[in-house]
Structure 1
Amino acid sequence: MRAIRADEHLAYVRSLPSASFLQTPAWGRVKSEWTAESVGFYAGPVLVGAGLVLYRQLPGIRRSLAYLPEGPVLDWARADVPALLDGLAAHLRSRGAFGIRMGPAVVTRRWHAGTIKTAIADPTVHRLGDVTPDESCEVGAALVETLQRAGWRHQVVAGGFSAGQPRYNFVLPLAGRSEADVLAGMNQQWRRNIKKAAQAGVEVRVGDRDDMPQFHAAYVETARRDGFTPRPLAYFDTMYAALNTEQSDRLRLYLAHHDGELVAATTMVRVGEHAWYSYGASTTTKREVRGSNAIQWQMIRDAIAAQAGVYDLRGITDTLDEDDPHLGLIQFKVGTGGDAVEYVGEWDLPLSRALYGAFALYMRRR
């Protein structure tokens, strides 16, 4: 384990079918409030894994939390995973980290859309995690056991969201499927809304950096309506520039208009064979023209055209309770006909128990 150059890191990512965009060197430039480092995992002289480490220093001291969002990027089925993680801990300790937080993008369980629909209709079922999965993943289960044995601590908060990146996500498989196949797999409401948007004359186009203020205005409106704190425009400008400088067309900005008026705007990120719906916004007016469905369908079509194997609609909670306001988000995504997946989640390894304890107390009191 050692630090590697950004170009070495990027070359390793490009050698794979895909990796999380949060583990690309460019993401370190997006998260400017953190200090970024690329690290490499070696088996002898061979690079067998890489990671983007983000360091956040504690106020008043020279010690940091080391964070690897949706990383590191490894073959988690390797027999030497425990040794590689020990090497990671030693390296980050030498860099002054008091603790490590990581969230490997490794699936443990998967539920198909039909299973989720049945569970939502059952009043006795309240959590996705309580539903028998359609698939259980041995590599994910083995990694959880490895982390537990090594003293890593699982980080979970109410509702199924981890402390950083979501533990539950919704993905739409695209490999080997045509547009017609994907459309046929959607529920009737999704197909009807896509058709309605087309008949109403909703037009979706790919924008550029100059269009970012339009996106941001709709995003701020969405934040006000849904009750979350929006990121500033400068964050999205930086994200657009950093990701697209590293790889042309990595991040796309989409805008949906009706009669010249913006009704929805989104961003999509793609690394290799994996495409992500990253940020979305819609205006309060003209919701009846179904701009959100139209813009999602265009992103899915473009992901298929780019030969992506997965279109990732990102986080959901695990709630299936009809009284929970988050249920609507799951129902919207289930309508695409995809799968809910559970990842191993985020895990912490204290390197200084005293400092990590103080950090954990601070986080609980925020």
Structure 2
Amino acid sequence: MPSVRPISPTEHRDHLAGLSSASFLQTPGWAKVKSEWRSESLGWFDDAGRQVGAALVLYRQLPKVNRSLAYLPEGPVIDWTGDDLAGWLDPMVRHLRKQGAFAVRIGPPVVTRRWTTAQVKEGIADPGVRLLGQIPPAERTPGGARVVAQLHELGWRHQGVEGGFAAGQPQFVFQVPLRHPDGTQRTEDEVLKGMNQLWRRNIKKAAKEGVEVVRGGREDLPAFHELYVHTAQRDHFTPRPLRYFETMYDALCADDPERLTLWLARHDGDLVASTIAIRVGEHAWYSYGASSTEKREVRGSNAVQWAMIRDAIAAGAAVYDLRGITETLDAEDSHVGLIQFKVGTGGEAVEYAGEWDLPINRPLYKAFQLYLKRRG
């Protein structure tokens, strides 16, 4: 059974650098982004003293009590493939209990089901289908089923996707595979051919209209943020402050200069779309996006997405991740437009194992759940 102990951010960073990928939410830089949480890096070590796992733990203290929720977003970064998850998780829980955790929340980075673009489109078109889970998946992963079964046996509780302690990562995402099943890289042409006709037409139109997409620097964050606030007002969501993005840029780029890239799409000098992309090893994410209401016809949003996908292919990434989608396929639901935009890329809908809680102090955990209900 591996042992667990705190490690330095440098040890944490070095361990992740030797892996094919890990969630950016499990990087030491993410602790600086989430500065309102107390943070700790943990390492798992085998009998020979070799590091075999890592985690970023975020501690959120309960109001008026010296006890915390220990949260590992999209982590820990351990070997999830075996039959002895207890050997990995039990020493971690013992450590977190000593740190004053009343409960632990993890997000195993393990895929459970996948659906093809065609299946998602058929589901949206079928009035009898309201949720993705009503469609038999193209793939159920044995590894995902094994992890879910073991977590149930070990007393962990699956959390519904609507909950969250100002945290909650998406259980359903949309991804474009950038490699063939044999592991060889897909070409730009192959990925483009996989997109629907509207996406291909919009990418071509943006090029014809003279939309120019470039990488930005930290000095371009105010321009991104201005457009992002405009987008938030139009689409009715609460924007994050500029300082958040400055912190995110500084923290993630300190981990790795290639980790975060700001992209800007301009037409005749006007900023029409801007996005933030993140990459850890072979996994590339579309993280934040903004677009202008004016000049929508020049298709800046499609142009900037295509630039990010091409960049991910050039970097040798295995997947381009458009992040969260809701499970709804109801054509009347306001969220379905986002799914339709992402489905146009020709990727696949992917379900992860989701977030799981282990209560350590049951009365406090119950109080915490009541607190969440009152807040919600």
Match of 1:304 among 307, 313, 319: 313
For 1:142 and 1:52, how far apart are their aligned partners in 2? 24
1:328 aligns with 2:337: yes
Match of 2:27 among 24, 28, 46: 24
1:101 aligns with 2:105: yes
Q: Match of 1:59?
A: 63
Q: Match of 2:86?
A: 82
Q: Match of 2:281?
A: 272
TM-score, normalization by structure 1: 0.97
Deviation at 1:163, TM superposition (A): 6.3
For 2:44 and 2:152, how far apart are their aligned partners in 1? 21
Q: Match of 1:220?
A: 229
Deviation at 1:157, TM superposition (A): 3.8
1:110 aligns with 2:114: yes
Q: Secondary structure, in 3 states, of the residue corresponding to 2:128?
A: coil
Q: Match of 1:150?
A: 154
What is the letter of the counterpart of residue 54 of structure 1?
Answer: L
For 1:139 and 1:364, how far apart are their aligned partners in 2? 33
Query: In structure 2, do the counterparts of structure 1 residues 271 and 158 end up closer, same or farther at CA, with 3 Å as the change threshold?
Result: closer
1:353 aligns with 2:356: no
Is the CA contact (8 Å cut-off) linking 1:159 and 1:318 kept in structure 2?
A: no
1:48 aligns with 2:21: no
Q: Secondary structure, in 3 states, of the residue corresponding to 1:52?
A: strand
What is the letter of the counterpart of residue 86 of structure 1?
Answer: D
Q: Match of 2:302?
A: 293
TM-score, normalization by structure 2: 0.95
1:133 aligns with 2:142: no
What is the letter of the counterpart of residue 309 of structure 1?
Answer: A
Deviations 1:305-332 (A, max 9, x none): 1111100000001111110011111111
Deviations 1:216-256 (A, max 9, x none): 01111111111111111000000000111110121000011
For 1:157 and 1:338, how far apart are their aligned partners in 2? 22
Taking every aligned residue pair, what percent have the same amino acid on both sides?
62
Q: Secondary structure, in 3 states, of the residue corresponding to 1:141?
A: helix
Deviations 1:334-355 (A, max 9, x none): 1101011000000111111111
Match of 2:247 among 238, 245, 248: 238
Is the CA contact (8 Å cut-off) linking 1:207 and 1:255 kept in structure 2?
A: yes
1:203 aligns with 2:203: no
Is the CA contact (8 Å cut-off) linking 1:157 and 1:163 kept in structure 2?
A: no
Deviation at 1:120, TM superposition (A): 1.7
1:172 aligns with 2:184: no
Q: Secondary structure, in 3 states, of the residue corresponding to 2:370?
A: helix
Is the CA contact (8 Å cut-off) linking 1:108 and 1:136 kept in structure 2?
A: yes
What is the letter of the counterpart of residue 362 of structure 2?
Answer: R
Q: Match of 2:182?
A: none
For 1:333 and 1:97, how far apart are their aligned partners in 2? 38
Q: Secondary structure, in 3 states, of the residue corresponding to 2:223?
A: helix
Deviation at 1:119, TM superposition (A): 1.8
For 1:38 and 1:331, how far apart are their aligned partners in 2? 38
Runs of at least 4 residues of structure 1 off by over 4 A?
A: none
For 1:130 and 1:91, how far apart are their aligned partners in 2? 40
Q: Secondary structure, in 3 states, of the residue corresponding to 2:53?
A: strand
Query: In structure 2, do the counterparts of structure 1 residues 242 and 159 end up closer, same or farther at CA, with 3 Å as the change threshold?
Result: closer
For 2:244 and 2:207, how far apart are their aligned partners in 1? 32
Q: Secondary structure, in 3 states, of the residue corresponding to 2:368?
A: helix
Which consecutive residues of structure 1, in runs of 5 or more, have no partner in the other structure? none
Which deviates further from its counterpart, 33-42 or 229-238?
A: 33-42
Is the CA contact (8 Å cut-off) linking 1:163 and 1:346 kept in structure 2?
A: no
What is the letter of the counterpart of residue 317 of structure 1?
Answer: T
For 2:361 and 2:172, how far apart are their aligned partners in 1? 30
Deviations 1:91-129 (A, max 9, x none): 100000111111111100001111111222222111101
Query: In structure 2, do the counterparts of structure 1 residues 158 and 64 end up closer, same or farther at CA, with 3 Å as the change threshold?
Result: closer
Is the CA contact (8 Å cut-off) linking 2:125 and 2:331 kept in structure 1?
A: no
For 1:229 and 1:136, how far apart are their aligned partners in 2? 36
Deviation at 1:169, TM superposition (A): 0.3
Deviation at 1:191, TM superposition (A): 0.1
For 1:158 and 1:29, how far apart are their aligned partners in 2? 26
